[in-house]
Amino acid sequence: MTASPLDIALFAAKLGVVFFVILTMAAYLVLAERRILAWIQDRKGPNRVGPFGMLQPLADLIKLLTKEDFIPSAADRWLFLLAPAMAAIPAILTFAVIPFGAPITIAGRQVPLLIADLNVGVLFFLALSSIAVYGMAIGGWASNSKYSLLGGIRGLAQLISYELSMGLSLVPVIMLAHSFSLTAIVDAQSTVPFIVYQPVAFIIFLISITAECKRIPFDIPEAEGELVAGFHTEYSGMRFGLFFVGEYINIIVLGGLATTFFLGGWHGPFLPPVVWFTIKSLAVAFFFIWMRGTLPRLRYDQLMHLGWKVLTPLALVNILATGWWLALAAS
Amino acid sequence: MATTEKMTLNMGPQHPSTHGVLRLVLELDGEVILKATPHIGYLHRGVEKLSEHRTYHQTLPLTDRLDYLAPMHNNLGYVLAVEKLLDIQIPERAQVIRTIMAEMTRLESHLVWIACHALDIGAMTVFIYAFRERETVMETYELISGARMTSNFFRIGGLSQDVPPEFEKKVRDFVSVMPGYLDQYEGLLTTNPIWLKRTVGNGVISAEDAIDYGITGPALRGSGVDWDLRRDNPYSGYEKYNFKVPVGEKCDTFDRYKVRLVEMREACKIINQALDSLKPGPVLSDYPQICYPPKENVYNSIEGLIHHFKIASEGFPAPEGEVYQGVENPKGELGFYIVSDGGNKPYRMRIRPPSFVNLQAIEKMSKGSMIADLVAVIGTLDIVLGEIDR
């Protein structure tokens, strides 16, 4: 099949729109978080720039861009410069496999509303989530600061504690959908979302992705009370901004993934599919913000205990139970 | 075979959770603390030395700035010590208002403690909530003294002025809603599994060790030692009030947390009892040699003005001798030891700051634990560098 100019144009348009929407959403998620936290904490939050503070992200962007891009003299220069990009790019790339709406028809062509319908979408996501930690680890190491180094080490320790349980919690989903493709997983939930069949897997996944996007109670690599700012202590200006925005992109993407795997993807009554997808993803993001307003922080060895001694065995048992149940249903 | 090295980490004086300008030099094996050495002195202002060059009245404002989270309590310790030296009595009303404000200060100091302690452990909302309530205490401070932190409200012989009429209602309203707010914090923390994981078994110090280190205040009571100066060596009329002294059992951060929360509830009760016994009357004793004259006299008569001028410029001679007065500050025993050679200035004034003594235990309490635990230990010791460095 050769791609016609129209196909290419549609694809480019889709890419542009997704890229724009994700970045804008990430910026406004920062604002939303600040406003929601303020609401939880009985204060006002940023409400000065523009109506209801709506231009705050823009002001923050201008501030970050015009700040000095400081590089410590003892830092490993190239790695220091590269690390923020290595943290942000995997987060954006992951969105490529998430179907965010029902296929639509434009000029007689079926246009699926996702960037790349990989038949190994789940593996793609897991691979990228492992790569994302390199930005943190390398950034922490290249800064040549002890706080950053400890932050980077904590990040790696955190990765090995949640990654396994996150992968294992997705196995039942794959078993139910009979596919690694995210499109197929969403199609399998057209009537009942998987959260109904797999509440345990959903909870494990939710805990794991909270650790993945380094949110309280698992914001251990950057715990400001302990490590000043953890792995990004030495970063300033837009390089810090990239780490920061990368984290919020990650929240949106992981919210989208939780939606796709467990909450029925874009399926839903009355409202258009894209709207349903957005609502569900933002609900997950809201849950993260809510947790930040409620919970203290775990110690990093406690997170490792939780990951290895509780979540991973639980996920394994859940897989066995799902297999047993599927075998019973088949016979 | 790979070899590992110890890492030395310089934590502070600029660090988010060293509560001011504490500097800790940590020797780490990974994140495990082998040695924690506190380095102090970044906030040293020489309060003790300065007081040797000031009259007794002029030293009072310096005490505001010791434990700046409990200014009125520092004032109280100082004025009680000087009054003991002079052997003078103060009017009933002044004493009751002093006690009310001392307990309000305890509430304020403990509110800042729970706020910072929780924030260090990651619970951000408690921080904002506690500062919201602290605001009311600050408003009360402002109402009676005009300043929010450096109140300088007490005077040797009484108070600088009477409280305004709305004072009583403001304080009563505050202590009636405060227990509800305490329930709110407890709802967020006391049964929270993560909070328990971080505080139970953290920073354990046995009763014997706590006594050996000279720890006082909630940190001592958290270790199970039933000792509170307000009850065991009463001052400022505390013997008239009915209150419980909470004591912990497990000697850990969680028990110290519980002790302080109960103390806040008890402080509300003390304030209520004190308000009940508050009667109109003078707030400054009638010792013309020692106390300032009333402001009306200063502004309206030449005798009053001269009187004021004499007290303000020369002060008063104190009898020769030495006194020690300890008060139960929110953070522990705050003591003032004054040696007088009969002049109008102390020959020597030594301040026993609770935080300074309590801080010694930090290595004992954090050895073998992780950086995250150390932060919890700093929080639970509730230190203020203003009085450590003095």
List CB contacts of A76: < 8 A, sequence separation 6 or more.
A141, A142, A144
B60-66 contact pairs (CB < 8 A, 24+): B60/B152, B60/B154, B60/B155, B60/B156, B61/B150, B61/B152, B64/B149, B64/B150, B64/B151, B64/B152, B65/B150, B65/B386, B66/B334, B66/B351, B66/B353, B66/B386, B66/B387, B66/B390
Least CB–CB distance from B123: residue in A42, A295, A302: A295
Record the tokens describing residue B304, joined without a space.
């009053």
Question: What CATH code would you report for B47-389?
Answer: 1.10.645.10
Distance from CA of B310 to the nearest CA of A (A): 50
Residues of B in contact with A150 (CB under 8 A): 9, 31, 371
Closest by CA to B315, choosing from B141, B108, B151, B86, is B86
DSSP A104-161: EEETTEEEEESS---TTHHHHHHHHHHHHHHHHHHHHHHTT-HHHHHHHHHHHHHHHH
pTM: 0.87
- ipTM comes to 0.82
pLDDT given for residue B1 in this prediction: 60
DSSP code of residue B184? H
Which residues of B lie inside 8 Å of A (Cβ-Cβ)?
A: 7, 9, 15-17, 30-31, 118-125, 128-129, 132, 188-189, 192, 194-195, 197-198, 370-373, 375
**Is A37 touching B (CB cutoff 8 A)?**
yes
End-to-end Cα separation, chain A, in angstroms = 41
Sign of the alpha-carbon torsion through B342, B345, B347, B353: positive
Other Cβ atoms closer than 10 A to B386: 23
Q: Please report, for residues A33, A56, A151, A285, B126, the alpha-carbon distance to residue A248 in angstroms, rounded to integers and kept in the order given.
A: 10, 16, 19, 9, 24
Q: Give φ, ψ of A219 to 5 degrees.
A: -85, 45
Domain segments of chain B as ranges: 7-39, 47-389
Cβ atoms of B262 and B110 closer than 8 Å:
no
Over 80: is that where the pLDDT of A102 sits?
Answer: no
Average pLDDT over residues A17-36: 88
What residues does B27 pair with on adjacent strands? B8, B35
Nearest CA in chain A to B195: A296
Judged by a CB distance cut-off of 8 A, whether residue A200 touches chain B is no
pLDDT bucket at A2, cuts 50 / 70 / 90: low
Under a CB-based contact definition with an 8 Å cutoff, are residues B342 and B87 in contact?
Answer: no
Residues forming beta bridges with residue B323, ordered by sequence position: B338
Both tokens of B259, joined, read 């002790």
CB contact under 8 A, A228 and B9: no
Report phi then psi at B243, rounded to 5.
-155, 155
Distance, C-alpha A182 to centroid of its chain: 15
- Residue A279 Cα, gap to closest chain B Cα (Å): 26
Residues of chain A positioned with their CB less than 8 A from the CB of B119: 225
Q: Closest residue of A to B29, CA-based?
A: A150
Interface residue A305 vs chain B (CB under 8 A)? no
Reported as a single tens digit per residue, the pLDDT across A241-277 is: 888 888 888 888 888 888 888 888 787 788 888 888 8
Q: How many residues does chain B have?
A: 390
**B371 contacts in A (CB within 8 Å)?**
150, 226-227
> Which of B22, B375, B378, B380 would best serve as a mutation to test chain A binding (most A beta carbons within 10 A)?
B375
What kind and span of H or E run contains B375? helix B371-381
Chain-chain contact of A42 with B375 (C-beta, under 8 angstroms): no
Residue B156 to residues B94, B202, B305, B307, Cα–Cα distance (Å):
11, 42, 19, 16
Q: Do B198 and A43 touch (CB under 8 A)?
A: no
Whether a cis peptide bond, with omega within 30° of 0, leads into B13 is yes
B32 Cβ contact list (under 8 Å, min separation 6): B368, B369, B370
Q: How far is B16 from chain A (nearest CA, A)?
A: 6
Neighbours of B141 (CB within 10 A): 22
Q: Which of B102, B131, B103 is nearest to B115 (CA)?
A: B131
Q: Is the sign of the CA dihedral B62, B67, B72, B74 positive or negative?
A: negative
* pLDDT tens digit at each of 390 positions of chain B: 677 788 888 887 888 777 778 888 888 888 888 888 888 888 888 888 998 888 888 888 888 888 888 888 899 999 999 998 888 888 889 989 999 999 999 999 999 999 988 888 888 888 889 998 899 999 999 999 888 888 888 888 888 888 898 998 999 999 999 999 999 888 888 888 888 888 888 888 888 888 999 899 898 898 888 888 888 888 888 888 888 888 888 888 899 999 999 999 999 999 999 999 888 888 888 888 888 888 888 899 998 899 889 888 888 888 888 999 989 889 889 999 999 988 888 999 999 999 999 888 888 888 888 888 888 888 888 888 888 888
Q: Write out the two tokens for B29.
A: 């094996």
**Chain B, nearest residue to A148 by Cα:** B9
Q: How far is A296 from chain B (nearest CA, A)?
A: 4
Quick check: B188 and A294 CB within 8 A?
yes
The Cα B350–Cα B152 span in angstroms is: 20
User: Environment class of residue B272 by beta-carbon count within 10 Å: exposed (0-12), middle (13-18) or buried (19+)?
Assistant: middle
Q: Is B329 left (phi over 0), alpha (psi -120 to 50) or beta?
A: beta
**Which of A43, A219, A228, A297 should one mutate to test binding to chain B, selecting the residue with the greatest count of B CBs within 10 A?**
A297
Question: Which of B320-336 are b and which e, b meaning 16 or more Cβ less than 10 Å from the residue's Cβ?
Answer: eeebebbbbbbbbbbbb
Residues 6+ away with beta carbon under 8 Å from A4 = none
Q: Do B192 and A297 touch (CB under 8 A)?
A: no
Are A227 and B197 a contacting pair at CB < 8 A? Answer: no
| Four-CA torsion A137, A141, A143, A149, nearest 10 degrees | 90
- Given a contact cutoff of 8 angstroms between Cβ atoms, the answer to whether A322 and A70 are in contact is no
Q: Can you tell me the distance from the alpha carbon of B308 to that of B191, in angstroms, rounded to the nearest whole number?
A: 57
Angle formed at CA B145 by CA B141 and CA B147, multiple of 5 degrees: 70
Q: Measured between beta carbons, which residues in chain A are less than 8 angstroms from residue B9?
A: 146-147, 150
pLDDT band for position A163 (cuts 50, 70, 90): confident
Q: What's the CA angle centered on A177, arms A176 and A182, to 5 degrees?
A: 140
Question: Could you give phi then psi for residue B148, rounded to 5 degrees?
Answer: -85, -35
pLDDT of amino acid B288: 84
Whether B305 contacts B298, CB under 8 Å: yes
- As a whole-number percent, the residues of chain A with pLDDT over 70 amount to 99
Query: Of B145, B149, B140, which is closest to residue B171 (Cα–Cα)?
Result: B140
- List of chain B residues whose C-beta atoms are within 8 Å of the C-beta of residue A233: none
The sign of the torsion formed by the CA atoms of A14, A17, A23, A25 equals negative
Tell me the residue type at B245.
Answer: V
Token look-up 């009017």 returns B91
Mean per-residue pLDDT over chain A, rounded: 85
Min Cα distance A75 → chain B (Å) is 18
Phi, psi of B330 (to 5 degrees): -55, -25
Q: Do B128 and A43 touch (CB under 8 A)?
A: yes
**A299 to B372: CB separation less than 8 angstroms, yes or no:** yes
The packing angle between helices A237-262 and A273-292, to 10°, is 120
Torsion angle of the four alpha carbons A196, A201, A205, A207, in this order, in degrees rounded to the nearest 10: 100
Measured CA to CA, the distance from residue B216 to residue B243 in angstroms comes to: 19
Q: Who contacts A153 (Cβ-Cβ below 8 Å, separation ≥6)? A: A137, A140, B30, B31
Please return the burial class of A239, using the count of CB atoms within 10 Å of its CB with bins 0-12, 13-18 and 19+: buried
